[in-house]
Homo-oligomer: A and B are copies of this chain.
Amino acid sequence: MNKNLSSVKALTFDVFGTVVDWRSSIIKELTALGESKQISADWESFADKWRGGYAPMDQVRKGKLPWKSIDELHRMVLDQLLDEFQIKDISESEIAHLNKAWHRLAPWPDSVEGLSRLKEKYVIATLSNGNISLLVNMAKHSGLPWDVVLSSELAKHYKTDKEVYLTAASLLDLKPEEIMMCAAHQDDLLAARALGLKTAYISRPLEFGPERKNDATDDMPFDIIASDIAELAQQLGI
C-alpha cells in the first residue's frame, strides 16, 4: 500500500454511480411500470433525463433555491418528465412510489463484497447527495454494510460545495488526510482533494450506459485508481 495512505481511517463513498447502478435500476422500474400500464416510451432517455435534470440542485448550490432534498428534486424533475412524455394514466401514489425508485437502486456486483472487506479495517461511510432516508432505505434494500450514513443533507449543501466534506470530517472527528473520498466522478474527488482528503477513483465505465463514456482520463491526480470496490480493497491490502 502507498505509504501516503497509512493515515487513512475512514472511507467516504459517493453512492449514485459509484456503489449502485442507478441507470439499469431506474430503466428496469420504468419498463416494469410501462408494461403494467401498457405505456410505451423511450425509458432509457427518460432515465437519463431524470438523472440529468438537476438544474434545481445548482440553484440550491447558488442559494437561489432554499434547501431541498434529493427526494424533492427527483420529484420536481419527475413531474416535468411525466408531462414531457405525456404519461397521464398514473395516480399520485404510483408517482410517489416511482419517485422512490431511487431508494431501490441495485449495487454493482462487486460493491457489497468490497465494502464488507473494507469495513474490517476502515470506517465506511456514505457521502452522497442522496438524503439520509434514501440512503438508509437503499442500504436495507441492497445489504450495503455502512458504518455510518453521511449526506449532503447534514450540511444543507450539495457536493461539490466544500461544506459537505468538512461536515463529514467534523462528524467523524477526523482530519481531512484521515479520510479517503471514493467516487466514480472526478469533480467530486477534485473538490475533496482540494480540502486535503485522500482520493480513490472507482472506474464505472457503464454508469451512463454502453453509449456514453465515463469521465476517466489518463492523467487523474488521485491516490488510487481502482477498477471497482473489490479492487480498491485489494489495493489497500485487504
* A139, A171, A172 interface centre (most CB from chain B within 10 Å): A171
A81 within 8 A of B: no
Residues of A103-124 contacting chain B, CB below 8 A: 123
Residue count of chain A within 8 Å CB distance of chain B: 17
Per assembly, the copies of the chain total: 2
A29 within 8 A of B: no
* A123, A140, A148 interface centre (most CB from chain B within 10 Å): A148
A133 touches B171 (CB 8 A): yes
A44 within 8 A of B: no
| Among B140, B148, B172, contact of A123 (Cβ-Cβ < 8 Å) | B140
Known: A123-B140, A133-B174, A154-B154. 16 other contacts (CB 8 A): A71-B173, A131-B171, A131-B173, A132-B172, A132-B173, A133-B172, A133-B173, A136-B147, A136-B148, A139-B147, A140-B147, A147-B149, A148-B148, A148-B149, A149-B149, A153-B171
A residues with CB within 8 A of B: 71, 123, 131-133, 136, 139-140, 147-149, 153-154, 171-174
